[in-house]
Amino acid sequence: MSTTSDTTRAKSTNGKTAEATPARTLAIDIGGTGLKASLLDEQGEMISDRVRVETPHPCPPPVMVDTLAKLIQPLGPFDRVSAGFPGVVRKGKIITAHNLGQTDWEGFDLRDALAAKFGKPVQVKNDADVQGLGAIRGVGIEMVITLGTGLGSALFDDGWIAPHIELAHHPFRKGQTYEEQLGEKALHHAGHKKWQRRVVKAIKTLRRLTNFDHFYIGGGNSRLIDFEVPADVEVISNDIGMRGGIWLWRKDRPHALSQAAEE
């Protein structure tokens, strides 16, 4: 099985087609607590150090865009941008931004704002969707949740991403939502042990809801999980949230590369 290459082709001075420099993708992971960025090669591997700053508070769109512009200065040149945003995103526009200030962000075209700032083409998608694209195997029903300032979620069917739903704000237990029970504030209020028991319950509940074949837990607070997870559950690196950005530009599904390597 062949894969789609992002390498561009250009005409040389003698009129023949020559391979151009492979595209470099700037991957940005926007969170309620931190902003991270790195450069990726065409396979989604990091080719620069990861840079990070605290998310400003308050953080209306102009502050966010300016902060990201300063953050990426040490990384060097890039050809395009992938950004994961903690909320619902439709065609580059922000629909929800519960952890960044909903009123400021609602309807803001982040894709166009970043494209104007960086002078490069930009793709923007929900951050859990992007993290999932970097983690999934592309086989069966796969679910991803991210545990951080809030709670993110994404669902995939044989490598194809499902329409995004805001699971974080659906009822979970004791009259509270998933985010109210599992977000950063809940972790500090309930304590580590009680919070982990809630994570276990959430996995069981989401198993019944989706009948997933594989379940991934990411986000900054996933590092705190020290209980033994079931065989079909995996705790993933938070860096995957950036590496998944390559799939916003590829035309094949996330499992295509791994399948090609096996053939």
Q: What is the pLDDT of residue 13?
A: 47
Percent helix, strand and coil across the chain, each to the nearest 5: 35, 25, 40
Q: What is the pLDDT of residue 130?
A: 94
Q: What angle do CA 36, 91, 66 make, to 5 degrees?
A: 35
Q: What is the pLDDT of residue 14?
A: 54
Q: What is the pLDDT of residue 188?
A: 97
- Global pTM value: 0.86
Q: What is the pLDDT of residue 20?
A: 64
Strand ranges inside the chain, DSSP E: 9-11, 17-19, 25-30, 34-40, 51-54, 80-85, 89-90, 93-94, 122-126, 141-147, 151-157, 160-161, 171-173, 176-177, 214-218, 233-235
Give the pair of three-digit tokens for residue 151: 């709670």
Ranges of residues in the chain with a pLDDT under 50 are 1-5, 8-13, 256-263
pLDDT digits (tens, 9 = 90+) for 166-195: 899 999 999 999 999 999 999 999 999 999
CA dihedral 162, 167, 172, 178 (to 10 degrees): 130
Q: What percent of the chain has pLDDT over 70?
A: 89
Contact 183, 195 (CB under 8 A): no
Q: Which domains does the chain have, with CATH numbers?
A: 20-129+242-262 (3.30.420.40), 139-237 (3.30.420.40)
